[in-house]
Structure 1
Amino acid sequence: MTLPGGTTPLPRAARPVRQVPSRATRTRGTAPTCDNPRRLTTMADRVTVIGWDGSPLTRAARSALSAATLVAGAAHHLALPEVPPGAERIRLGSVGLAARRIAGHRGSAVVLADGDPGLFGVVRTLRAPEYGLEVEVVPAVSSVAAAFARAGMPWDDAQIVVAHRRTLRRAVNVCRAHPKVAVLTSPGAGPAELALLLDGIHRTFVICEELGTDREQVTVLTSDKVADHMWRDPNVVIVIGGTAGPAPLTGTGGWIAGRKTRLPAGRPRLGPAARRGAALGGGRVRRPAGRPAGPAR
């Protein structure tokens, strides 16, 4: 059949197909876009975040590492013998930059972090919408849990804060307002700076340096003496004292984490290891022999 003008129509199978964007990607008056233009379009096949507290890696952690084609972590993580020699290695400085590298990687990626990576750790950044990473987490004992274990104290009634140079005063205010606070410190926002900003307010500090390593030390001091010492990173500080909240209404067990509880009058009750340090006027308690070396976060 010939159409007016001498043209012949194409067979149905040969006609060009018009591409219509889906409703999820169609925006009126603009070119088709994705739902989240900041989200990266490629993604690693598998991302596993492994926490490490110095103890031997679990079977799940070893299995994920053995299959990894990319491993990100600090220098002491990348030196672990379980890291495959042929895997690409990324020194974990900026978590955001590492997340972009991981998102563009085709293969199995592993991120190594100290302690529990879900507690003020890398999991939050990796799961941010702009990276779009879905992760599997193999946690270890967090530095907060390890610090309270060394002190022999429960911590379901403790506040937990992170201290940086710019946010140190905010952490200090939490220590003023609550009777039991765990502070995850950082360079320039450590035990000495924390004690100085308390400005005469009396507290007891339990300072846990390099937890899980052969250089681990636990020190108990009153806040007025903390600034007289040099402290090694990384460290966790438990700050105890101040006005306690009301006692539990019923029973002796807790039911909600972070609740204020009444501390006993006088000096806080510490566990045996921490008491040995306090009895020496703020002496240091070294890690018992035989504990596996490695940091906890």
Structure 2
Amino acid sequence: MTATVTVIGVDGDDLPATALKALADARLVVGGRSVLSRWAAATLGARSDGAARSGGSSVDGSSRGGGPRTIELTVPAELPGAALDALAASVEAGEPAVVLASGDPGYFGVLRALRERSVPTVCWPAVSYLQRIAAMIQRPWDDITVVAMRGRAFRKAVNVCRARPAVGALTAPGAGPAELGAGLVGWRRTLVVVQDVGGPHEELSIVDPAEAAARAWREPTIVLSLADLDRVGPAGWLAGGEPVPPADGWALGQDAFTHREGMGGSPELRALALARLAPRP
């Protein structure tokens, strides 16, 4: 039988029996430090200490007491080249491997990188961070636009939070609630933040952007940026919010503009200028 990489979503609850069986059989386990310490090191006796940093991961090629080798990811939602190479080599050698991921690995997670490398996979998802935070404030989430704030996408993600009334922001090291809050100071937004998601110190906070910017947050985190905390979006047919203009259009009314007599541009002229500028996030 061909070896596979089993991708297991972790959300703080106990793993199902099928996932535990895959973990027990694995010869290589990959994941962030917190999930490795709970499920690999603590449960199976795998080594994750004294490892060398390489390509965005911490790789330990040895094991203790017959336990699996481990690769510690510095960014849990991303699989760097070294980790992908090790997983592919494990499968080629006929040795099963496991990737421990937070929440749903198929939602802005590690599953995409594995599929792009054509690595045979089995996936056991858990509740996603977005589902978790929405449930904590008793809010449906099918109208929430979701952005990933990794790397160069951070600026675009902030602009989406400014433009849309309900946005779920998937954070990353250096792009967390504090950085998002700093980018939204002056905007009428309420930030709902869960820190240490799925961990022993998980905590929900509802703050304004200035307070979010001033606080230190315990990773991992998830943020909702809401124009109105108490408002629930209307029932729709497409996840992430309506892609078409509302019934009254996107444009502001003529009375929203202040100008000197005879100097104001017509709505048609403003629409033409906006189309020519073609603004993007």
Asked whether the equivalents of residues 236 and 242 of structure 2 are also in contact (C-alpha less than 8 Å), the reply is no
Match of 1:68 in 2: 26
Change (3 A) 1:187 1:47: closer
**Equivalent residue letter for 1:193:** E
Asked whether the equivalents of residues 192 and 204 of structure 2 are also in contact (C-alpha less than 8 Å), the reply is yes
Match of 1:241 among 218, 222, 227: 227
Asked whether the equivalents of residues 197 and 219 of structure 2 are also in contact (C-alpha less than 8 Å), the reply is no
Uncovered stretches (5+) of structure 1, i.e. residues with no partner: 1-43, 263-297
Match of 1:143 in 2: 129
Match of 1:96 among 62, 68, 81: 81
Change (3 A) 1:86 1:230: closer
Provide Cα deviations, 1:26-74, integer angstroms capped at 9, x if missing partner: xxxxxxxxxxxxxxxxxx7211111111111101101211221221122
For 1:87 and 1:212, how far apart are their aligned partners in 2? 24
**Equivalent residue letter for 1:86:** G
Rg: which structure is higher?
Answer: 1
Match of 1:178 in 2: 164
Asked whether the equivalents of residues 129 and 222 of structure 2 are also in contact (C-alpha less than 8 Å), the reply is yes
For 2:226 and 2:109, how far apart are their aligned partners in 1? 24
**Equivalent residue letter for 2:184:** L
Q: Which shows bigger deviation, 50-59 or 228-237?
A: 228-237
Query: What's the TM-score once normalised by structure 2's chain length?
Result: 0.68
Match of 2:255 in 1: none
Match of 2:154 among 143, 160, 168: 168
Match of 1:270 in 2: none
Correspondence 1:4-83 to 2 at 5 A = 45-79=3-37, 80=39, 81-83=42-44
1:157 paired to 2:157: no
Kindly state the Cα deviation for residue 82 of structure 1 after the two structures are TM-superposed: 4.2
Correspondence 1:169-208 to 2 at 5 A = 169-208=155-194
Query: Which structure dedicates a bigger proportion of its chain to helix?
Result: 2
Match of 1:219 in 2: 205
Provide Cα deviations, 1:86-114, integer angstroms capped at 9, x if missing partner: 32222234532111111112211111111
Match of 1:266 in 2: none
Match of 1:127 among 90, 115, 118: 115
Change (3 A) 1:172 1:83: same
Q: How many residues of Structure 1 are paired with residues of Structure 2 in the alignment?
A: 209
Kindly state the Cα deviation for residue 235 of structure 1 after the two structures are TM-superposed: 0.9
Kindly state the Cα deviation for residue 224 of structure 1 after the two structures are TM-superposed: 3.5
**Equivalent residue letter for 2:21:** S
1:230 paired to 2:216: yes
For 1:95 and 1:47, how far apart are their aligned partners in 2? 16
1:259 paired to 2:227: no
Identity %: 41
Q: Which shows bigger deviation, 102-111 or 159-168?
A: 159-168
For 2:186 and 2:136, how far apart are their aligned partners in 1? 27
For 2:89 and 2:5, how far apart are their aligned partners in 1? 12
Kindly state the Cα deviation for residue 165 of structure 1 after the two structures are TM-superposed: 4.6
Asked whether the equivalents of residues 193 and 227 of structure 1 are also in contact (C-alpha less than 8 Å), the reply is yes
Change (3 A) 1:199 1:54: closer
Asked whether the equivalents of residues 47 and 135 of structure 1 are also in contact (C-alpha less than 8 Å), the reply is yes
For 1:55 and 1:116, how far apart are their aligned partners in 2? 13
Asked whether the equivalents of residues 181 and 208 of structure 2 are also in contact (C-alpha less than 8 Å), the reply is no
Kindly state the Cα deviation for residue 188 of structure 1 after the two structures are TM-superposed: 1.9
For 1:89 and 1:222, how far apart are their aligned partners in 2? 40
Does the residue aligned with 2:214 lie in a helix, a strand or coil? coil
Change (3 A) 1:199 1:91: closer
**Equivalent residue letter for 1:124:** R
For 2:174 and 2:97, how far apart are their aligned partners in 1? 32
